[in-house]
Amino acid sequence: MSSDQRVFNFLKERIGLDVASVGEAIIERAVRQRSQAVQAQTADDYWQHLQRSHDEQQALIEAVIVPETWFFRYPESFATLARLAKARLAEIKQMRALRILSLPCSTGEEPYSIAMALLDAGLAPHQFKVLGLDVSPLSVERARRGVYGKNSFRGADIGFRDRHFNESADGFHIRERVREQVRLQVGNLLDPTLLANEASYDFVFCRNLLIYFDQPTQKQVFDVLKELTHVDGVLFIGPAEGSLLGRHGMKSIGVPQSFAFSRHAEPLKPEPVFAPIPAPPPLRTAASQPVKPRPFSTVSAQVVPIKTSPSDAGDLLSQIATLANEGKSAEARAACERYLSNHPPAAQVFYWLGLLSDVAGSALQAQGFYRKALYLEPQHPQALMHLAALLESQGDSAGARRLQARAARSERAESESKR
């Protein structure tokens, strides 16, 4: 079934999805699956069925949305939340419970991580409540079930699993003490009446969502998020979205790897959490200039040697990904530079250096690394999307669109090659 602009427009209207951000091939694949499921013979047959059936509309949305999440993704965000939550309780003199919002909450890993982090930090159950919202009823139902497989537990530190889960034959069941802190419901961020009659939230998590919208929808969603976040609250976003918030007047609170923003430079005055670290060695490649190192990082981010053989490039790439996903930016950057010292230049390494610069607030440096990745691998999907987000945040919508179109063509070509 060929591309159908009507379906693209439907998804844009219902969930704000910019098709260029994920690629036409993904949408087309979902339409083919749903057309087969309802035995539609032509694109027009499926479109007519889609118009008549609310259930089919939701089924198509479910087919397009592929949740990719795990517990304590970006760990420093949760550590920062715990510190700020204590400060916020003191500020309001513990006169009420903290209100925390997670959207989209997907299958529940994020809102339950919030609850576990605050309980582990010593907050009592009556001191906070978490609301998780998602456009997908199927994801919300899975979150309410609270049973998870091993793929939801990643990274080196999964000690929380022993504290907060019971293992059984069908997976790991989240314990009632955590479940009671979280309320889950279906909700659409593009709905103007969303949570209209509820008070604002002290902390809002909305991560890795804005990059899938075009600029007008980003502005619309940002206005909703700003309304939902208390004037003295904090908004947690994804690694590639900081520049988008900066364009709308939000400011980073200054905690590396937390991806946390507020309307104020120092929203809750947490205790200092920075410590100087040795500068990483300069990047050794003829194609690039020496990189000015970040002067600060979190206390936990101490540079440690990574034991690897110069010939073992695959293992080192895997270590870089693990370190970056765990928020250990100093170690990840050092690993990237170790790789480039001992192996030929690799697009994936420059992509990671771009992302590490991006989350550190060095937008120009990040652009340079993303472009190096694309020089080596012109259709590198992550580099295309992250560079597009940077250009969009700087007002270069045309440049962003060109990169998104390249990503879409690459995705379509890959999909066709697998048929």
Residue 226 lies in a domain: yes
Q: Which of 209, 238, 262 is the last residue of a domain?
A: 262
Q: Name the pLDDT band for 337 (thresholds 50, 70, 90).
A: confident
**Is residue 50 predicted with pLDDT exceeding 50?**
yes
Same domain for 232 and 88? yes
Give the model confidence (pLDDT) of 106-129 as tens digits. 999 999 999 999 999 999 999 999
* 188/133 Cα distance (integer angstroms): 8
Instruction: Please report the pLDDT score of residue 393 as a whole number.
Output: 67
Residue 267 lies in a domain: no
Same domain for 281 and 348? yes
Instruction: Please report the pLDDT score of residue 62 as a whole number.
Output: 81
Burial class (CB in 10 A: 0-12, 13-18, 19+), 54: exposed
Same domain for 378 and 294? yes
Same domain for 172 and 54? no
Residue 69 lies in a domain: no
Give the model confidence (pLDDT) of 160-170 as tens digits. 999 999 999 99
Strand partners, 131: 101, 183
**Is residue 336 predicted with pLDDT exceeding 70?**
yes
Number of domains composing the chain: 3
Same domain for 326 and 365? yes
Q: What is the mean pLDDT of residues 333-340?
A: 87
Structural contact between residues 98 and 203, judged by C-beta atoms closer than 8 angstroms? yes
73 vs 394: which has the higher pLDDT = 73
Same domain for 133 and 33? no
Same domain for 241 and 295? no
The DSSP output letter for 281 is P
Same domain for 55 and 88? no
Q: Which of 45, 64, 83 is the last residue of a domain?
A: 64
Residue 340 lies in a domain: yes
Same domain for 302 and 360? yes
Instruction: Please report the pLDDT score of residue 98 as a whole number.
Output: 97
Neighbours of 260 (CB within 10 A): 24
Quick check: bond before 344 cis, omega within 30? Answer: no
Give the model confidence (pLDDT) of 202-245 as tens digits. 999 998 888 778 778 888 888 888 889 999 999 998 877 776 77
Q: Which long-range contacts (CB under 8 A, 24 or more apart) does 266-270 make?
A: 267/84, 267/232, 267/233, 267/234, 268/84, 268/87, 268/88, 268/91, 268/232, 268/234, 269/87, 270/80, 270/83, 270/84, 270/87
**Is residue 267 predicted with pLDDT exceeding 50?**
no
Q: Name the pLDDT band for 416 (thresholds 50, 70, 90).
A: low
Same domain for 83 and 200? yes
* 12/344 Cα distance (integer angstroms): 42
Residue 70 lies in a domain: no
Residue 82 domain boundaries = 75-262
Residue 336 lies in a domain: yes
Same domain for 110 and 245? yes
Q: Name the pLDDT band for 302 (thresholds 50, 70, 90).
A: very low
Give the model confidence (pLDDT) of 342-353 as tens digits. 888 888 888 888
Helix (H, G, I), strand (E, B) or coil at 274: strand
Q: Name the pLDDT band for 394 (thresholds 50, 70, 90).
A: low
**Is residue 367 predicted with pLDDT exceeding 60?**
yes
* 83/342 Cα distance (integer angstroms): 40
Backbone angles phi, psi at 184, to 5 degrees: -125, 135
Specify the CATH number for the domain of residue 338.
1.25.40.10
Instruction: Please report the pLDDT score of residue 414 as a whole number.
Output: 58
Residue 268 lies in a domain: no
Q: What is the mean pLDDT of residues 1-25?
A: 77
CA 8 from centre of chain: 23
Same domain for 54 and 79? no
